[in-house]
């Protein structure tokens, strides 16, 4: 009996996992530059947290949550997104009351949504995101966008599209919703069942309906920009002006509303289209929220956040050849002939203890087998240790790129490695400084 992964879930193994870590580490490094601090919150929370946080009207809560009763008859859910859990942790820890505001958090980990799996859409996927909580200044929205933009550029993305919109404040949205209900009520009989429900729960969500016939109707709907209060209009203009000043190109998208109910004012998404025209959908998205903290039992503070889907980042980078193919190791140890394997083990131990990565071939004592394995393992050097080598205390070190060989007296091994790596680093930094000139 062979077991397979559940539909919509996937294993991330070996070189792929290495590249997931690479992406997460790069995003972490950028988050550190922006002074975000890491928050790790549970994968499982009370269902109510998400019902209140993400919103009863959202598709996520209505249809996509992994919700079940635990053995104590409590309704619990696997997190379908991070923001509600992060805000809960900020409220519980009281840092919103005791620390300087805003609090800047970053997070990374799996989320679960019972969606229809398709290209780039999973039921368990990974998100990396940021939240800035406790400031209403529009420049914090801009900071979030700039973080996303910088991180994507550093990962190597070229054809980025930043889509932006405003949902206005509560008053703007109330009058806009009234206008939408009036408009869609005339058409709703010809629209999909989801839209019929959205009209009752959250008419804004009709705007990003994916049904082609419905989109035709959506095109004639009133636009939020005609219903903005003066404050919301100015706030949005300030955000756009700041992006202009920074030279960040954006595209204003009137239909961008986002799938989570807590958003207000600025909302945005990063999209990517490859050179050959592949559209990968939203690779990252976020926005401002005014009432979420209060809604979850905290003080009246607003915040702004952004979340990347790591699977989507990975897929784009892989398709564009921007990932590592096979990580290198420093040495591969080849025991040859009748050698004492405990001795080989002690050499391996010394090498690793001195900070060099290495693998050894105790499964075979054939040099041909070791050379093949060393090349497949992507080793920089092959260290040959045979009976004669042990007798004389001299190893043979072969550079697998240049094929140069070197005899090394055993006690000098680590010093020689240090020297070789120092020289090659010098050559590399020299090469890259020449490239930069």
What residue ranges bind ligand AMP (CB under 6 A)? 81, 113, 115, 120-122, 125, 127, 259, 282-285, 307, 309, 311-312
Q: What distances in angstroms separate CA 407 from CA 43, 394, 410, one per listed residue?
A: 54, 6, 9
CA distance 29 to 107: 12
- Closest distance to ligand AMP from the beta carbon of 287 (Å): 8
Nearest to 10 by CA among 96, 123, 156, 93: 123
Taking the least distance from each CB to ligand AMP, the nearer of 20 and 395 is 20
- Closest distance to ligand AMP from the beta carbon of 258 (Å): 6
Closest residue to bound ligand AMP by CB: 309
- Closest distance to ligand AMP from the beta carbon of 259 (Å): 5
Cα four-point dihedral sign 133, 293, 91, 301? positive
- Closest distance to ligand AMP from the beta carbon of 307 (Å): 4
Tokens 């010394």 sit at which residue? 350
- Closest distance to ligand AMP from the beta carbon of 343 (Å): 50
Query: Angle between the 310-319 and 14-33 helix axes, to the nearest 10 degrees?
Result: 110
Taking the least distance from each CB to ligand AMP, the nearer of 222 and 259 is 259
Taking the least distance from each CB to ligand AMP, the nearer of 115 and 161 is 115
CA distance 263 to 208: 15
Taking the least distance from each CB to ligand AMP, the nearer of 274 and 346 is 274
Taking the least distance from each CB to ligand AMP, the nearer of 141 and 330 is 141
User: What are 336's two structure tokens?
Assistant: 């040859």
Do residues 290 and 307 lie in contact, with contact meaning Cβ atoms separated by under 8 Å? Answer: no
58 Cβ partners below 8 Å, 6+ apart? Answer: 202, 205, 259, 260, 261
For 95, what's the count of Cα atoms within 13 Å in the CB-facing half-sphere? 17
- Closest distance to ligand AMP from the beta carbon of 65 (Å): 13
- Closest distance to ligand AMP from the beta carbon of 295 (Å): 17
CA distance 427 to 425: 5
- Phi, psi (degrees; rounded to nearest 5) at 223: -105, 140
Taking the least distance from each CB to ligand AMP, the nearer of 81 and 141 is 81
- Closest distance to ligand AMP from the beta carbon of 129 (Å): 8
Taking the least distance from each CB to ligand AMP, the nearer of 162 and 351 is 162
Taking the least distance from each CB to ligand AMP, the nearer of 309 and 335 is 309
How crowded is residue 368: how many other Cβ atoms within 10 Å of its Cβ? Answer: 9
Taking the least distance from each CB to ligand AMP, the nearer of 243 and 282 is 282
- Closest distance to ligand AMP from the beta carbon of 425 (Å): 36
b/e code 193-222 from CB counts within 10 Å (16+ = b): ebbeebbeebbbbbbebeeeebeebbeebb
CA distance 437 to 434: 5
Beta bridge partners of 131: 105, 305
């Amino acid at each position: 009996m062979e077991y397979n992964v559940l539909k919509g879930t996937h294993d991330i193994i070996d070189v792929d996992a290495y590249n997931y870590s690479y992406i997460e580490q790069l995003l972490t490094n950028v988050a550190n530059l922006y002074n975000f601090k890491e928050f790790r919150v549970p994968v499982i929370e009370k269902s109510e947290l998400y019902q209140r946080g993400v919103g009863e009207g959202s598709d996520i809560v209505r249809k996509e949550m992994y919700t079940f009763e635990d053995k104590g008859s409590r309704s619990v859910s696997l997190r379908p997104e991070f923001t509600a859990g992060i805000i809960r942790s900020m409220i519980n820890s009281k840092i919103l009351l005791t620390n300087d505001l805003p609090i800047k958090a970053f997070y990374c980990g799996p989320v679960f949504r019972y969606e229809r799996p398709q290209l780039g859409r999973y039921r368990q996927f990974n998100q990396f995101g940021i939240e800035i909580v406790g400031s209403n200044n529009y420049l914090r929205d801009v900071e979030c966008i700039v973080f996303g933009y910088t991180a994507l550029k550093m990962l190597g993305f070229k054809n980025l599209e930043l889509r932006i919109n405003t949902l206005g404040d509560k008053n703007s949205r109330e009058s806009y919703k009234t206008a939408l209900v009036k408009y869609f009520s005339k058409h709703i009989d010809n629209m999909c069942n989801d839209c019929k429900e959205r009209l009752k729960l959250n008419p804004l969500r009709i705007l990003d309906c994916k049904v082609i016939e419905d989109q035709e109707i959506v095109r004639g709907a009133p636009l939020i920009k005609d219903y903005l209060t003066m404050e919301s209009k100015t706030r949005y203009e300030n955000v756009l002006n700041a992006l202009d000043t920074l030279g960040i190109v954006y595209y204003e998208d009137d239909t961008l509303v986002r799938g989570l109910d807590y958003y207000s004012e600025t909302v945005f998404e990063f999209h990517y289209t490859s050179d050959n025209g592949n559209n990968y959908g939203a690779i990252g998205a976020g926005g401002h929220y005014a009432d979420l903290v209060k809604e979850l039992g905290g003080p009246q503070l607003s915040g702004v956040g952004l979340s990347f889907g790591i699977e989507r980042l990975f897929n784009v980078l892989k398709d564009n050849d921007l990932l590592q193919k096979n990580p290198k190791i420093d040495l591969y140890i080849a025991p040859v002939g009748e050698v004492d394997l405990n001795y080989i083990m002690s050499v391996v131990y010394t090498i690793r203890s001195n900070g060099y990565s290495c693998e050894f071939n105790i499964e075979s004592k054939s040099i041909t087998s070791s050379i093949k394995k060393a090349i497949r393992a992507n080793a920089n050097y092959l260290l040959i240790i045979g009976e004669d080598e042990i007798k004389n205390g001299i190893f043979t070190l072969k550079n697998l790129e240049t094929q140069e060989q070197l005899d090394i007296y055993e006690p000098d091994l680590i010093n020689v490695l240090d020297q070789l790596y120092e020289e090659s680093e010098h050559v590399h930094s020299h090469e890259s400084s020449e490239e930069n000139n």
